[in-house]
Each structure stands twice: as C-alpha cells, then as structure tokens.
Amino acid sequence: MKATIIDGKAVAASLRSQLKDQVAALKEQGVVPGLAVIIVGDDPASKVYVSNKEKACAEVGMYSEKYALPAQTTQEELLALVEKLNNKPNIHGILCQLPLPKHLDEKAVIEAISPKKDVDAFHAQNVGRIMIGDYKFLPCTPAGIMELIKATGIDITGKECVVVGRSNIVGKPMAMLLLHQNGTVTICHSRTKQLKEVCRRADILVVAIGKAKFITGDMIKNGAVVIDVGMNRDENGKFCGDVDFDSASEVAGYLTPVPGGVGPMTITMLLKNTLTAAAK
C-alpha cells in the first residue's frame, strides 16, 4: 500500500482537546455553550448521529438539549419549537437532524432557524456569506475536510481541486472553501462527460456522490490527496465509501478511510460552530 492514511479520529481528537480548553475559558466568563438538537421520527441512522452529538458535547464540556419528536409532528409544532429555541438565551446553536419525515417542509424549517444559531450553516444567509467569503459558520463536513487536507501539510494554493458531487451540504460549499484557499476548482456530477479524465487531473479529489466504491484507482492521479465523504454499505453489508479503498490506496498519496476519516470531523466542526456562536 502506497497511500498515507489520513486519520480523521486523530485529527478530530486533537481539535476536540483544543475546543475543551476554549469551552473552559468561556465558562470562566460565565458562558456555557449550549446546543439544541431536534430529531423527528425514528430514523435509525439519525438516532445514532444524535446520540453521537450528545456524547461529543459532554466530552468538551458543552451543554446540550435533545428534542425527540414523534414522526407525526406537524409543521406548526416543529416551527413553534424552533421559535422557542431561537429565543432561549442558554442555547447558542440549533440543529434539526435531516432528513425529516416526508410531510414536513425541510426548507421552511432551515429558514426558521436564526442565522446566528444555525450551526449547520444551511440557512440561505449563511450560505450566501460562504459564497462571498465573509462567514461565521461553515457547513460541518466541508469544514472538517479542510482540516484533514491541512493535516497532510499540503498547500491548496494553485492546486487542481476536483469535487465529485454538487449537493448543498457538501459539494457546493466544499468548492467555495477550496476556492477561498486559492485552489483551481472543478465540480463534477452525474452528467459530467469524461469524468475519469477530469478526476485524473486532480491534485486534491473530494468525493461525495453517494455511490459505493464509485471512484477507482484508475481515476486517480498519482500522489493525489483523496477525501472520501461517502458512507455506504458494500455487497457484504460492510461500511465503505464512494472511493474503492483498495485500488485507490495503490495510487493516491493521501487517502481518508471509511469509517474513521471524514465522519469524526463533522461532529467536531459542529462543536466548533457552537463555540463560535456562544463566543459571539
């Protein structure tokens, strides 16, 4: 195996120990950072994410509240809860776990969260700020990826960066962050022609397309930094990413594993955003 594995757990642990100190310093000024997490319904994956978020808050000394609502919760009830949390002084960050049950309007819920407490950075106002480079919060996954790239010691300036996937949560903001660091950025998606050739140009390749083992070693430039955002299950039911780890590790210079790569960083960045909101 040739690629150096980027250990997301280790990078996250080091950032969390810094956050713990910063939370302690803020507590001395009488402010305890508080995060409210809303979960609607019984989606098993969402439940796991929410319990991980609670544990992470406790680990760095933050206060957290969980609102587990039944699947039949109405739009009015959910918006009323968001409004209550917007006005709650000991809550600095509000996160509504997605996806929501089909009858609820995700967009309306995201827009109802105060931009000052929108620690997911999904509100249109925060998205716009990221676009112009004047932001307080960054979406947790792209922000975590930037930290992982930083951990390799590679400077993004002037590098060919290719982002595979154009979601509002990862692909689009990821491209903006790489651009702000002077990368030359290409965004690819399901309709991109000659995807293999485009990927092979990348010095830094970020893959968030949601298809198991979609990117193979022959699509990767020799020595590239490859960040795998995917979380899928393979034909044997084992966790795997959007990148075929075995063939990619023969070619890439740096590679994130799944699990243990991008995942641990996402929650760490959520804590960082909550701390930022509390410090404000």
SS3 180: helix
Q: Does residue 103 contact residue 77 with C-beta atoms inside 8 Å?
A: no
SS (H, E, C) 10-45: HHHHHHHHHHHHHHHHHHHCCCCCEEEEEEECCCHH
- In sequence order, which ranges of 113-261 are alpha helices (DSSP H)? 124-132, 140-151, 171-180, 195-200, 245-248
Both tokens assigned to 83: 């409004």
Catalytic site residue from 118, 120, 242, 244: 120
- Asked if 66 is an active-site residue, the reply is no
Answer whether 238's CB lies under 8 Å from 257's CB. no
Structure tokens at 78: 């959910």
In this structure, what token pair is assigned to residue 42? 């019984």
Q: Residue 263, exposed/middle/buried by CB under 10 A (0-12, 13-18, 19+)?
A: buried
Active-site residue flag, 97? yes
Q: Which of these is catalytic: 22, 97, 159, 242?
A: 97
For residue 49, the SS3 value is helix
3-state SS class at 149: helix
Binding site annotation covers 165?
yes
Of the candidates 13, 56, 38, the one whose C-alpha atom is nearest the C-alpha of residue 275 is 56
Alpha-carbon distance of 15 to 140, in angstroms, equals 13
| Catalytic site includes residue 120 | yes
Of 55, 57, 53, nearest to 34 (Cα)? 57
Which positions are annotated as active-site residues? Answer: 53, 97, 120
- Residues making up the binding site: 165-167
- Residues making up the binding site for NADP(+): 165-167
